[in-house]
Amino acid sequence: MGCTASSHVLENYGEDDPFLQSQKANDAIEQSLQMGRQNDKNEIKLLLLGAGESGKSTVLKQLKLLHKGGFTHQERLQYSQVIWADAIQSMKILVIQARKMGISLDCDDPINKRQLFECKRILLKAKALDHIDAGMAGGSDFLNDYVLKYSERHETKRRVQSTGQARAFDEDENSLLPKDGDRAMSGETIIDVEYGFARDGKLDLQQIFQDLDEDSDNDHMFLKERLREQWQQQQLRHQQQHISNQDIAHAIDQLWKNDRGLKQCFARSNEFQLEGSAPYYFDNIQKFADPQYVCSDEDILRGRVKTTGITESDFNIGSSKFKVLDAGGQRSERKKWIHCFEGITAVLFVLAMSEYDQMLFEDERVNRMHESIMLFDALLNSKWFRDTPFILFLNKMDIFEEKVKKMPIRKFFPDYQGRVGNSEAGVKYFENLFLSLNRSNNKPIYVKRTCATDTQNMKFVLTAVTDLITQQNLKKSGII
């Protein structure tokens, strides 16, 4: 109506009349709004969902490699810091867990395995934060995550932070309000208990002892003892020889290659929390030790930076515009999911197939595969996605295929009838289990087997998936 009326009225005005000028401006704005609405309608919104560590961000990284020319220099520098710190901490975890599990280590033998004993001494003395640029690694986000991951003291906190419920996500808007367990860690004293670091990088042992003394938990006796040792060591610290990155890399390399106990411990790493890419870090430890090292594409795909919140990335794929939303998958992140549920063209659910024998990082009482089943069920049958197609990525197939040879699926899923070691039977079992959760007759689920760290595999899969979604979208909007 505005258009006809205004063109009729306009005939009575000269070109430079202020009224005419303002009408023209209004028309232009209206036209651009309409175009915007049209573009929004044509834009494909793809939402990446799944449990923490399943590989969502790795899928997004592959999309960036395929359609955005790859990673920035800044990202490459960030990952070289993060990976070096994770490599040091992951090897320490193996030593500590081996002791907890009663596995005897070659490196604990100062007489017959003198060299390995010395390597272990160097490793345990090294403080990862001393050897990286924490600012470049991601600043306070990195430090928060680091403490949560590597302080024994935070095992219970992880659970509290995750809200402790087996809930998938909050369908109820009211439940989006912060709860007791949601307190951000940033307001608290951040101390890496094991290595005695306060947030500002200074040792705050007095505070640590105070915290531990208040805590009557006997589990902390071991920790207290270790802290006392650390404290004594700190007194000597300035007189001690500086440990170089090369010393640490050499120690990790030797321990990884030659300590039989550490190998046994690694074989049981489903019983504790260890970075999935730790073997990759250890195999390539020399390059990560170089402070000038700039990460390759493969390093970035293997590296792990937990997603906090929801990130949006735009891609032009063929003649379509894609907006890809990547959501953090850990429990504490899921309350944010509901904010991006509207107007989604397709949900891409990433499942880590290899994690059928592992427990959640957020709650070590819960099996990761069970968590994914519960999550997929809740999302697939939610009111938000009644008419939304789902794509299910059976991810981490490379690890799964190796793992099924040694770790029987039936141990964790008693109704599994397939042969031990038969990966095809295992994949079919989990695929059918997930497909059986679909309570709608007309909602398609497309399944793809993936190894998100493999660029060749992902190029093939992602091309097929983006083609499929584009076709579906064109059909839905009546264009074809």
Ligand X SMILES: Nc1nc2c(ncn2[C@@H]2O[C@H](COP(=O)(O)OP(=O)(O)OP(=O)(O)O)[C@@H](O)[C@H]2O)c(=O)[nH]1
Binding residues for ligand X, per CB under 6 A?
50, 52-58, 276-277, 301-302, 304, 306-307, 328-330, 350, 395-396, 398-399, 451-453
Contact assessment for residue 297 and residue 65, using Cβ atoms and an 8 Å cutoff:
yes
Residue 187 annotated as part of some ligand binding site: no
Select from 152, 168, 445 the least CA-distant residue to 330. Answer: 168
Question: Closest approach of Cβ 425 to ligand X, in Å?
Answer: 20
- In the list Mg ion, ligand X, none, the entry touching 58 (Cβ below 5 to 8 angstroms by class) is ligand X
Nearer to ligand X, 204 or 364 (CB): 364
Nearer to ligand X, 247 or 326 (CB): 326
Q: Give DSSP secondary structure letters for 168-196.
A: ----SGGGGS--GGG--GGGS--EETTTT
Q: Which helix (H) or strand (E) holds 255?
A: helix 245-258
Cβ neighbours around 201 below 10 Å, total:
11
58 is known as an active-site residue: yes
The catalytic residue among 106, 145, 259, 326 is 326
Residue 326 annotated as part of some ligand binding site: yes
Question: Closest approach of Cβ 26 to ligand X, in Å?
Answer: 45
Question: Closest approach of Cβ 306 to Mg ion, in Å?
Answer: 6
Residue 126 annotated as part of some ligand binding site: no
Question: Which positions from 48 through 87 interact with Mg ion, judged by CB under 5 A?
Answer: 56-57
Question: Closest approach of Cβ 394 to Mg ion, in Å?
Answer: 18
Question: What are the tokens at 67?
Answer: 């359609």
- In the list Mg ion, ligand X, none, the entry touching 276 (Cβ below 5 to 8 angstroms by class) is ligand X
Nearer to Mg ion, 51 or 124 (CB): 51
Nearer to ligand X, 42 or 307 (CB): 307
Cα torsion through 398, 329, 156, 79, rounded to 10: 70
Residue 101 annotated as part of some ligand binding site: no
Question: Closest approach of Cβ 60 to ligand X, in Å?
Answer: 8
Could you say whether residue 388 binds Mg ion (CB under 5 A)?
no
Residue 396 annotated as part of some ligand binding site: yes
- In the list Mg ion, ligand X, none, the entry touching 192 (Cβ below 5 to 8 angstroms by class) is none
Nearer to ligand X, 196 or 329 (CB): 329
Rounded to whole angstroms, how far apart are CA atoms 276 and 413? 22
- In the list ligand X, Mg ion, none, the entry touching 92 (Cβ below 5 to 8 angstroms by class) is none
- In the list ligand X, Mg ion, none, the entry touching 396 (Cβ below 5 to 8 angstroms by class) is ligand X
Question: Which positions from 189 through 208 interact with Mg ion, judged by CB under 5 A?
Answer: none
Rounded to whole angstroms, how far apart are CA atoms 406 and 418? 14
Per DSSP, helices labelled H in 68-204 are 73-100, 114-125, 134-137, 139-150, 155-161
Q: Which helix (H) or strand (E) holds 205?
A: helix 205-214
330 is known as an active-site residue: yes
Question: Which positions from 295 through 314 interact with Mg ion, judged by CB under 5 A?
Answer: 307
The catalytic residue among 76, 99, 167, 304 is 304
Rounded to whole angstroms, how far apart are CA atoms 260 and 268? 13
326 is known as an active-site residue: yes
Rounded to whole angstroms, how far apart are CA atoms 211 and 213? 6
Rounded to 5°, angle at Cα 348 from 344 and 349: 125
The catalytic residue among 81, 97, 273, 330 is 330
Question: What are the tokens at 70?
Answer: 């790859």
Cβ neighbors of 158 (< 8 A, separation 6 or more) are 148, 361, 362, 363
Contact assessment for residue 304 and residue 330, using Cβ atoms and an 8 Å cutoff:
no
Residue 449 annotated as part of some ligand binding site: no
- In the list Mg ion, ligand X, none, the entry touching 398 (Cβ below 5 to 8 angstroms by class) is ligand X
Most distant CA pair in the chain, distance: 104
Residue 397 annotated as part of some ligand binding site: yes
The β-bridge partners of 169 are none
The rounded radius of gyration (Å) of the Cα atoms in the chain is 27
Select from 252, 214, 268, 30 the least CA-distant residue to 128. Answer: 252
Nearer to ligand X, 56 or 127 (CB): 56
User: What is each CA distance from 371 to 47, 57, 157, 348, 368, in whole angstroms?
Assistant: 19, 19, 19, 17, 5
Residue 398 annotated as part of some ligand binding site: yes
The catalytic residue among 58, 62, 230, 345 is 58
Nearer to Mg ion, 56 or 403 (CB): 56
Rounded to whole angstroms, how far apart are CA atoms 140 and 179? 22
Residue 324 phi/psi, 5-degree rounding, is -110, 125
Nearer to Mg ion, 57 or 269 (CB): 57
Residue 130 annotated as part of some ligand binding site: no
Tell me how many residues contact Mg ion (CB under 5 A): 3
**3-state DSSP helix/strand/coil percent for the chain, to nearest 5?**
60, 10, 30
Question: Closest approach of Cβ 451 to Mg ion, in Å?
Answer: 17
Q: Which residue's Cβ lies closest to ligand X?
A: 329
Question: What are the tokens at 233?
Answer: 């060591």
Question: Closest approach of Cβ 400 to ligand X, in Å?
Answer: 9
Residue 379 annotated as part of some ligand binding site: no
Question: Closest approach of Cβ 437 to ligand X, in Å?
Answer: 20
455 is known as an active-site residue: no
Residues belonging to the binding site for Mg(2+) are 307
Residues belonging to the binding site are 301-307, 326-330, 395-398, 452
Active-site positions read 53, 58, 304, 326, 330
* Binding residues for Mg ion (CB under 5 A): 56-57, 307
